Structure 1
Amino acid sequence: MLRKSRATRMLTALLLTGAVSTQAQSQDAPYLNPKLPVEERVKDLLSRMSLEDKVGQMTQAERGNIKNLDDVSYYAFGSILSGGGSVPADNSPEGWANMIDMYQRETLKAPLKIPMLYGIDAVHGHNNVYGATIFPHNIGLGATRNPELVKKIGEATAKEVYATGIRWNFAPCVCIARDERWGRTYESYGEDPEIATMMTSIIDGMQGNLGQPGTVLATAKHFVADGGTALDSSTTGNYSLDQGDSRISEEELRKIHLPPYKAAIEKGVGSIMASFSSWNGVKLHGHKYLLTDLLKGELGFKGFVISDWAGIDQISNDPAKNVREAINAGIDMVMEPNNYPRFYNTLLSEVEKGNIPMSRIDDAVSRILTQKFKLGLFENPFTDRSYFNQLGSQEHRDLARQAVRESLVLLKNEQVLPIKKDTAKILVAGSNADDIGNQSGGWTMTWQGGSGKIIPGTSILEGIQKTVSSTSKVDYVKWPDPDQAKGYDLGIVVVGERPYAEGQGDRENLVLGDGDRRAIDNVCSAMKCVVVVVSGRPQILTDQLPKMNALVAAWLPGSEGQGVADVLFGDFNFSGKLPITWPKSMDQVPINVGDANYDPLFAYGYGLKY
């Protein structure tokens, strides 16, 4: 299909839709009247839209791959997104607002003036934006068992996202992680659906009274059973759980993986993202039974289904088949980051050939428009810059610090905790003691995250230094040798994982690195020691556990490392409970509560107090 000029396309659209010729008359269109019911506005707007307009609404492009600015109005994108780390040159609230408003102004040049909806993965705070509050990842929030706290985190995240002009968040992930080796385990609230179901309170926080200032559209993801995939080791050197196949019965799918989606739908979640993974060999992006019959039919989901990053391209090697099967299966909007012209033209062609019925297109577009009207985008399409001061505010950082405190799980304590603030000499060691990037994990500034001081905040070491008395001496040696570990009253060894995200985070072995293992050995052999594990999942520690006087699971606490020190030094007691079983060895993995012969190192729900 040859691309028409923008002027030709606009003229064609005017003729096809019967749109009125004067600005004054167009402002009288029922769909532009905020006093009318949303259903009436959707019906009126849909009646004015050409097929090209509708296909545009079903297209989501990635900002970094938009070839020309006028493509935004030419294709009339329904949505634009930022992938992980896809940011404007000025990565500040003003920089984001300027960029998004630029796209919105271009979008509104199209005849029907349907605003674009910008989306982003703000999965533990507004994690792409420098200076945002970075909350603990979901696995830590699951340990809190505190849905009211998580609702407040949803509210805070929504305000920070809204401040940058973004109105759609690809969160929360309500996956049930059933195998610790999976690289997305930390995006899960836990291994049992009870926690993920209760934590759908975050949707109430994000969406609030949708359309009011400071609210954003939430997304429950990834539908469904993405955390139940089986290990693929059929090829030498290929070790993968991500985007795999959940080879489970429908009974197990409904019992384990479906409950949080039911809860999310009851809370009115506006969108649901399909999973890259398969169910018994059939890709979710083309699974009509799950996306349409179950999700939209049986569960009554009224929002719209968004595909994952180029997810429909995994159905087959035939682009036309992929578009046809995905849309007919129930995908409403397609995240097409790499080749939006191909998707747009293919969808047009498939409808024109009769391979996709207009009823399916109208259903998809109606669902998308409904959420845009609910968000108030037609009345307020541009950034509300009065919210700039919400990003990284002290109130939000205090909330994150509380979340860190409540997420900590005490696994062992031989009368060494709480630590006395006036302890004379403290040695802090380990790879994650003074690395705010490591303690924040993946999806922080970039997709896979990174080590080092990549965001503002407080490392765990800095939190310790701020907490001890003025007479105490705190030294930090990352991996001390035996001589460096002499002469101290107490050691705090902070060990664990480096950042990763899906795909790259799949691991065959969850044993600590050699440097961290030596740090535990050398410090705990020389003095009383507290070991703090900063990780997105349990680590294998069984052999070294007897050497430790105390063991704490801190998960991935984010920007407010002070919260760890608050509890270690007794300002607050431990309250967290394990949201995931802690195995004795890799031979036990995967291990989940309810398994036959369940005999872990620490059971699901375990957690001590002082």
Structure 2
Amino acid sequence: MANELLPPYRDATQPVESRVRDLLSRMTLREKAAQMTQIERRVASPSALSGLPVGSVLSAGGSAPRERASPRDWADMIDRMQHWALASRLGIPILYASDAVHGHNNLYGATIFPHNVALGAIRYEKVLEDLVFLVESGRISMSRIDDAVERILRVKFVVGLFEYPFSDRSLFDVVGCKRCPSEATFSDQEYSYAIVAIGEDAYAEFLGDRTELGIPFDGATMISLVAGKVPTVVIVISGRPLVLEPELLDKIDALVAAWLPGSEGGGVADVLFGDYDFEGVLPVTWFKSADQLPMNAGHNAYDPLFPLGYGLRR
């Protein structure tokens, strides 16, 4: 009986397509244009989100609730915006986006995948006005607008955003490195092999300057812990050779220099699991210690860990 009091788009028992059509039929042109619009976090306000049903909000590069914001800070901010959006005439929840294809780099402690990306934002009011003008002038048909808005609404219904618009706070404890392997990891379960990825943050030019070239983020300890328990492949993610101590190399079974693979880092998995063959060879000499630098092939004192051109090839 309760569902009879709800508009069809609010009724979770209704088919998704029925909900999409019902909600679309209730929307004005400005509301449809707003649903197609993404605004940057810095301009998101109660009036911006409750006045019109903006489709999504974006955190562009460096745009965060505060410096070194925690998962709870992010959840509080996004949920607050969601409350504003739900107060709009039709109560359409927002999608929240982070401009970070290399990992949620705006969230302190989150996993970062090495990739450099240009970050952008969008001007909300100008886009909204332009869309409305183009439709009203006949340069864009209403059917085209409806098709675009249907796609946006369909995603929101399919992912359950109308029923569950707020953050899942049970996930706070899995952000960061709290689940790194420990002695308990190996006491609870037996493993046939392990893959350990260690290395540097992504960087370019002088931002990567360091006074020493050891494995950062306690990577050597991680290798020792895991490789002492189970056969181990180590993937080194770096923009240059790093110091690999002999005792570490003695413990591991294979070493992959992945460099900084960008958004195509999945290619490392392709060769690691045999979908493709390893074909690369070292484009530089891999030194034993930083004291040997500079080191160039052909020099009399050339005594590298791995020489120029070294690699696994068929």
TM tier, shorter chain?
A: 0.5 to 0.7
Q: What SS does the corresponding residue of 1:118 show, helix, strand or coil?
A: strand
CA contact (8 A) 2:50 2:89 kept: no
In the alignment, the residues of structure 1 paired with residue 87 and residue 134 of structure 2 have an alpha-carbon distance, to the nearest angstrom, of 27
| TM-score, length-scaled by structure 1 | 0.35
**Superposition pairs of residues 470-549 of structure 1, within 5 angstroms:** 534-535=238-239
**Superposition pairs of residues 364-375 of structure 1, within 5 angstroms:** 364-375=148-159
CA contact (8 A) 1:133 1:397 kept: no
CA contact (8 A) 2:104 2:111 kept: yes
Partner of 2:254: 574
In the alignment, the residues of structure 2 paired with residue 127 and residue 464 of structure 1 have an alpha-carbon distance, to the nearest angstrom, of 24
Aligned-residue offset at 1:383 = 1.1
Aligned-residue offset at 1:570 = 3.4
Post-superposition Cα deviations, 1:226-253, rounded to whole Å, max 9, x if no partner, equal xxxxxxxxxxxxxxxx9xxxxxxxxxxx
Among 78, 87, 97, the residue aligned to 1:109: 87
CA contact (8 A) 1:56 1:78 kept: yes
Aligned-residue offset at 1:96 = 0.6
Partner of 2:272: none
Structure 1 position 404 matched with structure 2 position 197:
yes
Partner of 2:201: 440
**Superposition pairs of residues 325-336 of structure 1, within 5 angstroms:** none
**Superposition pairs of residues 135-150 of structure 1, within 5 angstroms:** 136-137=113-114
Structure 1 position 76 matched with structure 2 position 53:
yes
Among 87, 90, 97, the residue aligned to 1:119: 97
Aligned-residue offset at 1:359 = 1.0
Task: For structure 2, list consecutive stretches of 5 or more residues without a partner in the other structure.
Answer: 186-193, 225-235, 259-266, 268-278, 285-307
Aligned-residue offset at 1:533 = 8.0
In the alignment, the residues of structure 2 paired with residue 449 and residue 389 of structure 1 have an alpha-carbon distance, to the nearest angstrom, of 34
Structure 1 position 607 matched with structure 2 position 287:
no
In the alignment, the residues of structure 2 paired with residue 69 and residue 85 of structure 1 have an alpha-carbon distance, to the nearest angstrom, of 22
Aligned-residue offset at 1:102 = 1.1
Q: What SS does the corresponding residue of 1:460 show, helix, strand or coil?
A: coil
Among 65, 82, 106, the residue aligned to 1:128: 106
In the alignment, the residues of structure 2 paired with residue 575 and residue 25 of structure 1 have an alpha-carbon distance, to the nearest angstrom, of 59
Aligned-residue offset at 1:568 = 4.2
Aligned-residue offset at 1:132 = 1.8
Partner of 1:292: none
Kindly provide the amino acid, as one letter, of the partner of residue 58 in structure 1: M
**Superposition pairs of residues 329-344 of structure 1, within 5 angstroms:** 337-344=121-128
Q: What SS does the corresponding residue of 2:57 show, helix, strand or coil?
A: strand
Structure 1 position 89 matched with structure 2 position 66:
yes
Residues 338 and 533 of structure 1, relative CA distance in 2, 3 Å threshold = closer
Structure 1 position 47 matched with structure 2 position 25:
yes
In the alignment, the residues of structure 2 paired with residue 126 and residue 369 of structure 1 have an alpha-carbon distance, to the nearest angstrom, of 25
Partner of 2:138: 354
The alignment of Structure 1 onto Structure 2 pairs a total of residues equal to: 246
In the alignment, the residues of structure 1 paired with residue 57 and residue 43 of structure 2 have an alpha-carbon distance, to the nearest angstrom, of 10
CA contact (8 A) 2:36 2:54 kept: yes
Aligned-residue offset at 1:375 = 1.1
In the alignment, the residues of structure 2 paired with residue 57 and residue 130 of structure 1 have an alpha-carbon distance, to the nearest angstrom, of 30
Post-superposition Cα deviations, 1:163-185, rounded to whole Å, max 9, x if no partner, equal xxxxxxxxxxxxxxxxxxxx66x
Structure 1 position 29 matched with structure 2 position 31:
no
| TM-score, length-scaled by structure 2 | 0.64
In the alignment, the residues of structure 2 paired with residue 567 and residue 34 of structure 1 have an alpha-carbon distance, to the nearest angstrom, of 59
CA contact (8 A) 1:58 1:77 kept: yes
Structure 1 position 391 matched with structure 2 position 175:
yes
Partner of 1:463: 219
Residues 565 and 47 of structure 1, relative CA distance in 2, 3 Å threshold = farther
In the alignment, the residues of structure 2 paired with residue 565 and residue 584 of structure 1 have an alpha-carbon distance, to the nearest angstrom, of 21
Residues 584 and 361 of structure 1, relative CA distance in 2, 3 Å threshold = same
Task: For structure 1, list consecutive stretches of 5 or more residues without a partner in the other structure.
Answer: 1-23, 139-182, 185-241, 243-307, 310-336, 406-435, 469-531, 540-551, 555-560, 586-600
CA contact (8 A) 2:49 2:81 kept: yes
In the alignment, the residues of structure 2 paired with residue 98 and residue 449 of structure 1 have an alpha-carbon distance, to the nearest angstrom, of 36
Instruction: Name the structure, 1 or 2, with higher relative contact order (CA <8 Å, separation 6+).
Output: 1
**Superposition pairs of residues 156-235 of structure 1, within 5 angstroms:** none
Post-superposition Cα deviations, 1:267-293, rounded to whole Å, max 9, x if no partner, equal xxxxxxxxxxxxxxxxxxxxxxxxxxx
Kindly provide the amino acid, as one letter, of the partner of residue 250 in structure 2: G
Residues 459 and 362 of structure 1, relative CA distance in 2, 3 Å threshold = same
Kindly provide the amino acid, as one letter, of the partner of residue 238 in structure 2: V
Aligned-residue offset at 1:43 = 1.1
- Indicate the RMSD between aligned Cα atoms, in angstroms: 4.2
Aligned-residue offset at 1:574 = 2.0
Kindly provide the amino acid, as one letter, of the partner of residue 374 in structure 1: V
Kindly report structure 1 stretches of 4+ aligned residues shifted beyond 4 Å. 24-27, 396-399, 448-453, 465-468, 564-568, 577-585
Aligned-residue offset at 1:95 = 0.6
Residues 357 and 133 of structure 1, relative CA distance in 2, 3 Å threshold = same
**Superposition pairs of residues 300-311 of structure 1, within 5 angstroms:** 309=120
